[in-house]
Amino acid sequence: MWQRIREFFRDSETIFWARLQMLGAAIIATLAVFDPMLFSNYIPTAYLPIYIFISGIITEFARRLRAKDL
Protein backbone atom coordinates (compact mmCIF):
# COMPACT_ATOMS: atom_id res chain seq x y z
CA MET A 1 0.00 0.00 0.00
CA TRP A 2 2.73 2.48 0.96
CA GLN A 3 4.61 1.71 -2.25
CA ARG A 4 1.55 2.59 -4.34
CA ILE A 5 1.18 5.88 -2.45
CA ARG A 6 4.86 6.70 -3.01
CA GLU A 7 4.54 5.91 -6.72
CA PHE A 8 1.46 8.14 -6.97
CA PHE A 9 3.48 11.05 -5.62
CA ARG A 10 6.51 10.07 -7.71
CA ASP A 11 8.48 9.35 -4.52
CA SER A 12 8.58 13.07 -3.67
CA GLU A 13 7.66 14.66 -0.37
CA THR A 14 7.35 18.05 -2.06
CA ILE A 15 4.70 16.79 -4.48
CA PHE A 16 2.86 15.13 -1.59
CA TRP A 17 2.90 18.38 0.39
CA ALA A 18 1.69 20.41 -2.60
CA ARG A 19 -1.21 18.03 -3.25
CA LEU A 20 -2.11 17.98 0.43
CA GLN A 21 -2.26 21.78 0.42
CA MET A 22 -4.46 21.75 -2.68
CA LEU A 23 -6.84 19.28 -1.04
CA GLY A 24 -7.05 21.48 2.05
CA ALA A 25 -7.62 24.58 -0.08
CA ALA A 26 -10.41 22.83 -1.99
CA ILE A 27 -12.13 21.86 1.25
CA ILE A 28 -11.81 25.38 2.68
CA ALA A 29 -13.04 26.95 -0.57
CA THR A 30 -16.05 24.65 -0.56
CA LEU A 31 -16.85 25.61 3.03
CA ALA A 32 -16.49 29.29 2.17
CA VAL A 33 -18.90 29.00 -0.76
CA PHE A 34 -21.61 27.12 1.11
CA ASP A 35 -21.47 29.04 4.37
CA PRO A 36 -19.11 32.04 4.61
CA MET A 37 -19.91 32.61 8.29
CA LEU A 38 -19.03 29.01 9.14
CA PHE A 39 -15.71 29.45 7.35
CA SER A 40 -14.83 32.61 9.24
CA ASN A 41 -15.61 30.93 12.56
CA TYR A 42 -13.27 28.01 11.92
CA ILE A 43 -10.30 29.85 10.44
CA PRO A 44 -9.62 33.35 11.77
CA THR A 45 -7.78 35.60 9.32
CA ALA A 46 -5.15 36.31 11.99
CA TYR A 47 -3.81 32.76 11.49
CA LEU A 48 -3.14 33.21 7.77
CA PRO A 49 0.38 34.70 8.12
CA ILE A 50 1.31 31.94 10.57
CA TYR A 51 0.05 29.29 8.16
CA ILE A 52 2.00 30.79 5.25
CA PHE A 53 5.20 30.92 7.32
CA ILE A 54 4.90 27.32 8.55
CA SER A 55 3.92 26.12 5.08
CA GLY A 56 7.05 27.72 3.65
CA ILE A 57 9.24 26.00 6.22
CA ILE A 58 7.67 22.60 5.53
CA THR A 59 7.98 23.11 1.77
CA GLU A 60 11.66 24.04 2.05
CA PHE A 61 12.33 21.05 4.32
CA ALA A 62 10.60 18.67 1.89
CA ARG A 63 12.55 20.13 -1.04
CA ARG A 64 15.88 19.75 0.75
CA LEU A 65 15.17 16.11 1.54
CA ARG A 66 15.61 15.36 -2.18
CA ALA A 67 18.26 17.92 -3.14
CA LYS A 68 21.62 16.27 -2.48
CA ASP A 69 23.62 19.30 -3.67
CA LEU A 70 22.37 21.64 -0.91
Please report the pLDDT score of residue 42 as a whole number.
67
Residue closest to 58 by CA, chosen among 1, 10, 14, 8: 14
pLDDT digits (tens, 9 = 90+) for 29-67: 787 788 777 666 666 777 778 888 898 898 888 888 877
- Residue 14: CB atoms within 10 A of its CB come to 19
**Which structural domain range is residue 30 located in?**
2-66
Helix, strand or coil, per DSSP, at residue 56: helix
In the predicted structure, residue 68 carries a pLDDT above the cut 80: no
Please report the pLDDT score of residue 12 as a whole number.
77
Considering its fold, how many domains does the chain have in total? 1
Instruction: Tell me phi and psi for residue 10, to 5 degrees.
Output: 55, 35
Q: In terms of C-beta density within 10 A (0-12 exposed, 13-18 middle, 19 or more buried), how is residue 50 classed? A: exposed
pLDDT digits (tens, 9 = 90+) for 11-30: 777 888 888 888 888 887 78
